[in-house]
Structure 1
Amino acid sequence: MTYEATRARVETYFDRTATRTWERLTSDAPVSKIRQTVREGRDQMRDRLLSALPQDLTGRRILDAGCGTGQLTEVLAARGAEVVAIDISPALINIARARLPAPLHARVDFHAGDMLHEPSGPFDHVFAMDSLIYYDADHIRSAVDRFVDHGAVVRFTIAPRTPLLAAMWYAGKVFPKSDRSPTMVPHNTATLKRKLDGAGKVRDLGRVNCGFYISHALEVAS
């Protein structure tokens, strides 16, 4: 499937089909046990992606590519970074903007659009947490190349190819059919790292395995 076709499916899902689901999932509202594991896993992955950064990010310009409802954006801005937050879903951008504490508004520039085409660099860091998980290896390599071209250290997540994740996902048990996400593309981590060779220095940031949330983080630096 082409990048444009996949992007359109993702946009439809997040902007029309499951906006309320993700608004609730990324809040403190009660959720099902399954979704609670997804919430906790995402929290763990966010912490993992942030762990190598200093607490004080004053003077750093950071792209949050696929910012969703803005959880990572808020943390980055609270640490002093200037953040460009972009998402394919205008509805999620509206939620992120509304949730952002007023004192941080001056540090965040929100955009609704394609994370690969709208924002202009340079950036010190790019984060793409769970926003490349629907794409094949060629598309991920193209995205990473573009981000690295902005001069950034890129940290992103993929869906690792594991029997458990495949069984859960393809059985359709993660979410009800009415708001199920577009199908993730599982990747063999070692194979994808070889695919990324040449884009920059690739570093394995490890995996989060929390119930129904399974995700693997990589870093590419020019």
Structure 2
Amino acid sequence: MPAYDQTRARVEDYFDRTATKTWERLTSDAPVSRIRETVRAGRDRMRDLILSRLPDDLRGARILDAGCGPGVATIALAERGATVVAADISPQLIDIAQLRLPHDLQSQVTFHTGDMLDPKLGQFDAVIAMDSLIYYTASDIGAALAALEPRVSGPIVFTVAPRTPALMAMWYAGKAFPRSDRSPVMIPHAHPKLMSAAKSAGVRRMLRPVDRITSGFYISEAMELRP
């Protein structure tokens, strides 16, 4: 997937070159600006929503945390008893996640620096991908889901940027900045186009919206493929 690979390279460069300290702070208890407080609160709510789609007792389950970042969801999954593969393209974020992982959970977590779609990661009972597909086109998301679907026996829960007036305004504003100065641009999606792209890519399960979280500058929608 050439377009997917190009976007992944831009995202990797952004997080390792520019955003590591920002995300380390945002996903901690450290003081942040009011704008980032809204993002932190929105991400906390979205993480809770995604985790609510999985059983409370995950003992015996193998879960992929795709785009694990600093590992907040990884810890929550391991605390429920899951064996977790925590994958991220950013080596620096993986380093933070490893440092934050409590000692008593370390035997349950395997970290992977690289592509979350790597088939070498094996089979899973469920996959979560929080805000790790928001930079990709509908066709790339469809292809990613098609690649994961045969390897996952249970739900695939992920987020997209919903195509709302507020988010579209932010999207166009972001495109006004010089390319060298801005983060990778989120690509907003409407449900019909995303569902069509998944079907065209060969996804067999029904793609369904779960819920939308809006918190200041954080706007994200949870979707899922469920058997």
| Interval containing the TM-score (normalised by the shorter chain) | over 0.9
Amino acid at match of 2:191: T
Give the C-alpha shift of residue 179 in structure 1: 7.0
Name which of 150, 171, 174 aligns with 2:173. Answer: 171
Give the C-alpha shift of residue 166 in structure 1: 1.8
Partner residue in 1 for 2:82: 81
Give the C-alpha shift of residue 193 in structure 1: 2.1
Alpha-carbon contact 2:127-2:152 (below 8 Å) kept: no
Overall identity of the aligned pairs, in %: 59
Alpha-carbon contact 2:174-2:185 (below 8 Å) kept: no
Alignment of 1:108-187 (within 5 A): 108-117=109-118, 119-152=120-153, 153-172=155-174, 180-187=182-189
Alpha-carbon contact 1:157-1:218 (below 8 Å) kept: yes
Range with bigger deviation, 94-103 or 116-125: 116-125
Runs of 4+ in 1 over 3 A off after TM superposition: 177-180
Amino acid at match of 1:58: R
Amino acid at match of 1:53: L
TM-score normalized by the length of structure 1: 0.93
SS in 2 for 1:206: strand
Give the number of aligned pairs: 220
Give the C-alpha shift of residue 46 in structure 1: 0.6
Partner residue in 1 for 2:36: 35
Residues 56-111 of structure 1: CA deviation (Å, up to 9, x unaligned): 11000000000000011000000000000000000000000000111000000001
Partner residue in 1 for 2:107: 106
- In structure 2, how many angstroms separate the alpha carbons of the residues matched to 1:162 and 1:204? 14
Name which of 184, 194, 197 aligns with 1:195. Answer: 197
Give the C-alpha shift of residue 178 in structure 1: 8.3
- In structure 2, how many angstroms separate the alpha carbons of the residues matched to 1:135 and 1:125? 21
Pick the structure with more helix per residue.
2
Structure 2: runs of 5+ lacking an equivalent = none
Taking a change above 3 Å as real, the CA distance of residues 196 and 130 of structure 1, as seen in their structure-2 partners, is: same
Amino acid at match of 2:161: A
Amino acid at match of 1:43: D
SS in 2 for 1:132: coil
Alpha-carbon contact 1:18-1:179 (below 8 Å) kept: no
Structure 1: runs of 5+ lacking an equivalent = none
Alpha-carbon contact 1:84-1:119 (below 8 Å) kept: no
